[in-house]
Structure 1
Amino acid sequence: MSPYGGNAGGSRVVGGSSGGDGVRGNSTGLSYADDSLGNMGLTTEAGSAADMTHNKGEERLAERRVLLMGMPRSGKTSILAVIFDNMQPYDTLSMLPTVQRGTYRMSMGITVYDFPGIDDYSETQYNNLSPSVYEGEHASLVYVIDSQGDIQTSLSTMYSIIRMAQSVNPDIPINIFLNKVDGLSEELRQDIQQDVQNRVMKTMTYESLNSTFVQFFLTTIFDESIKEALSRVVRRLVPRYNSLETILNSFCSKSSLDKAFLFDIATKVFLATDSSPTDSLMYMFACHTLEAIQDIATICSVYTAMGEEEAGLQKTVVGMDGSFKIYVYQVNSFSVLLCLNTMLIARQDSLIEYNGSKIAKAIRQILR
């Protein structure tokens, strides 16, 4: 297997249909090595009826889970199709509405559940949805709002969901995606975000709802903003995240790096980063660079299976105009460490490469 090319597609499981469970994954058409799916933490087997359907409180959901909800046509399924299935944004225009829950599995044991659009929260399928779906310290709620649609109606539905969620899990993180901001001016985007944020915080305060863990994101499937937003959601669910952040902080400090990301290869979502501020343009550049490296590796490499230790030795260094360098280290079969450095000191190369190999090995040990 190529160090960066073999696992380009995420794994999606759709359950609950009368015609049986369907599975879709590896949308690039690349073949997997025998053990690559297991190494990525992905699954191609549909769950049982208790796992995949809304039934009398007997659901067994993943421990580390993201619950994606919103009004119909808010763009929930399109978001996941672009991230997990590598679908082109314009191709999502022909997608049918979501009528059953979809399941998208990431590395680190994190699962994203795509719930059908909610026209009326009192509908039978949601009225019978067990409150247990919100339970647990590793559950996170994402509510998607069409920023060019009926925001007030969408907010009313969201409040109903939040009331139910906080009745069983007062500390559940609430992430509000103001979606479909493409085509809007930057000024209008900020105005919409400020207006929605003010309304939400005011209502939650009035209703004595916990607003401590509420985040707002401006998103669109036409750029990397949606992947960055999902990254900020899932990193709260990553096991031993504090340890990973500490290691990356030390790496950046001792190697004079500007930024370090631990990327999920399949989705280009970052699972961890150092504690310095994350600039959106820097993240976008890192994503595009990783995609380019992955494409080159897919074209040029021979697909052979390699062990974890061998994969950890794979690295790529990209120089930009002689003053900017990107270092990419394979951590394991589902993640890479990507570092950015704008320093002009050439003698640091050997130090960075040495430290990078050691850090990649340390991260690999933590993730086991």
Structure 2
Amino acid sequence: MNPYGGSAGGSQMIGGSSGGGGVRGNSTGLSYADDSLGNTGLTTEAGSAADITQNKDEDSLAERRVLLMGMPRSGKTSILAVIFDNMQPYDTLSMLPTVQRGTYRMSMGITVYDFPGIDDYSETQYNNLSPSVYEGEHASLVYVIDSQGDIQTSLSTMYSIIRMAQSVNPDIPINIFLNKVDGLSEELRQDIQQDVQNRVMKTMTYESLNSTFVQFFLTTIFDESIKEALSRVVRRLVPKYNSLETILNSFCSKSSLDKAFLFDISTKVFLATDSSPTDSLMYMFACHTLEAIQDIVAICAGYTAMGEEEAGLQKTVVGMDGSFKIYVYQVNSYSVLLCLNTMLIARQDSLIEYNGSKIAKAIRQILR
């Protein structure tokens, strides 16, 4: 089953035109349980800007990894700061340029590597980057483009990276983030996306590069589009994703749910979801609801750590105007199951709550 949610040979496009920066949630989770697997954050690897791409740490790169690359000032580090460090979007304006490779760790053994910006591929150490960086079936490439900058130069650099990556890993997923679209009209966003997509596909076909796993995303740090885009990137790297999707499909079908997400608590990135189409507004609403629940828990609850079994029993039901309900079940200390239901059948509540507890337990067993 294709974890992208689309056809294997196509590209998926996401619009990100709604929403604001959001509330900064507490990264410790609903139950404030401690778990090393749920620890996220930035660590900067030692080395100078000249040697960060070919140092001894390359041999120890995580098996499940996302490689984030792009031109300087394209917004790579700002994206990660907002997602992983809960930084407010406007606070990223004062961030210094990235000169060393940064490491951001997620749950399930997934690691995101933030590479410094590339001014000129032929004159940087990227040209001598060890091919082993791109190797492995669990590696994924993300290239960030400033949609209001020099797109042609950025694309030329991207093609050089793709050639190197596909020389050692022809099937590596290529995810293109058209970033900084917040200042553009919806019509202009779509025009830029269509133009870039046509140019990329035409060039890759001409150069006999594999375009099977190419995705395009419209992103901005001022709404949830960056988290949704990263979700679609990392879920391909999630262990046993097909099993998780099958369980969530069954849960939605048996309980008449509209949508179910398995969220990473600290980042609000969804690690798995059912196979029904994911609406951007629905995802944004789910993120904001989870943040609100975390804020309430931080105010009303203690900070006593819970064991995994105890944490798995935590659940929250949120009703919206009597016609919309959200069910949240804590799977473990770093992930929650969030379900959305618009059905007006009161007798389904007990069924959903019972099934939700069982599904959360089953997912917890799969993730062990």
TM-score of the alignment, normalized to the shorter chain, above 0.5: yes
For 1:216-231, what aligned pairs fall within 5 Å after superposition? 216-231=216-231
CA distance in 1 between partners of 2:22 and 2:340 (Å): 40
Does the CA contact (< 8 Å) of 1:13 and 1:45 recur in 2? no
Report the CA distance shift for 1:240/1:49 in structure 2 as closer, same or farther (over 3 A): farther
CA distance in 2 between partners of 1:24 and 1:288 (Å): 10
* 1:66 shift after superposition: 0.1
123-132 vs 329-338, which moves further? 123-132
Question: SS state of the match for residue 191, structure 1?
Answer: helix
Residues 258-286 of structure 1, C-alpha deviations (whole Å, 9 max, x = no match):
00000000100000000000000000000
* 1:107 shift after superposition: 0.1
351-360 vs 117-126, which moves further? 117-126
Question: SS state of the match for residue 208, structure 2?
Answer: coil
CA distance in 2 between partners of 1:356 and 1:343 (Å): 16
116-125 vs 103-112, which moves further? 116-125
Report the CA distance shift for 1:14/1:347 in structure 2 as closer, same or farther (over 3 A): closer
* 1:183 shift after superposition: 1.6
Does the CA contact (< 8 Å) of 2:4 and 2:236 recur in 1? no
% identity of equivalent residues:
95
Does the CA contact (< 8 Å) of 2:16 and 2:218 recur in 1? no
298-307 vs 197-206, which moves further? 298-307
CA distance in 1 between partners of 2:5 and 2:198 (Å): 44
* 1:54 shift after superposition: 2.3
Alignment RMSD: 8.5
Report the CA distance shift for 1:140/1:338 in structure 2 as closer, same or farther (over 3 A): same
Does the CA contact (< 8 Å) of 1:56 and 1:130 recur in 2? no
Report the CA distance shift for 1:296/1:6 in structure 2 as closer, same or farther (over 3 A): farther
* 1:59 shift after superposition: 2.9
Unmatched 5+ stretches in structure 1: none
Report the CA distance shift for 1:114/1:337 in structure 2 as closer, same or farther (over 3 A): same
For 1:225-264, what aligned pairs fall within 5 Å after superposition? 225-264=225-264
Question: SS state of the match for residue 336, structure 1?
Answer: strand
Does the CA contact (< 8 Å) of 2:30 and 2:294 recur in 1? no
The answer to whether residue 348 in structure 2 is matched with residue 340 in structure 1 is no
184-193 vs 123-132, which moves further? 123-132
38-47 vs 73-82, which moves further? 38-47
Report the CA distance shift for 1:41/1:336 in structure 2 as closer, same or farther (over 3 A): farther
CA distance in 2 between partners of 1:34 and 1:5 (Å): 33
Residues 110-152 of structure 1, C-alpha deviations (whole Å, 9 max, x = no match):
0000000000112342123101100000000000000000000
Residues 158-204 of structure 1, C-alpha deviations (whole Å, 9 max, x = no match):
00000000000000000000000002111110000000000000000
CA distance in 2 between partners of 1:143 and 1:304 (Å): 41
The answer to whether residue 53 in structure 2 is matched with residue 53 in structure 1 is yes
How many correspondences in the alignment?
368
Tell which has more relative contact order, 1 or 2 (C-alpha 8 A, sep 6+).
2
Unmatched 5+ stretches in structure 2: none
Does the CA contact (< 8 Å) of 2:25 and 2:291 recur in 1? no
* 1:18 shift after superposition: 42
* 1:24 shift after superposition: 17
CA distance in 2 between partners of 1:285 and 1:17 (Å): 14
Report the CA distance shift for 1:35/1:222 in structure 2 as closer, same or farther (over 3 A): closer
Does the CA contact (< 8 Å) of 2:263 and 2:269 recur in 1? yes
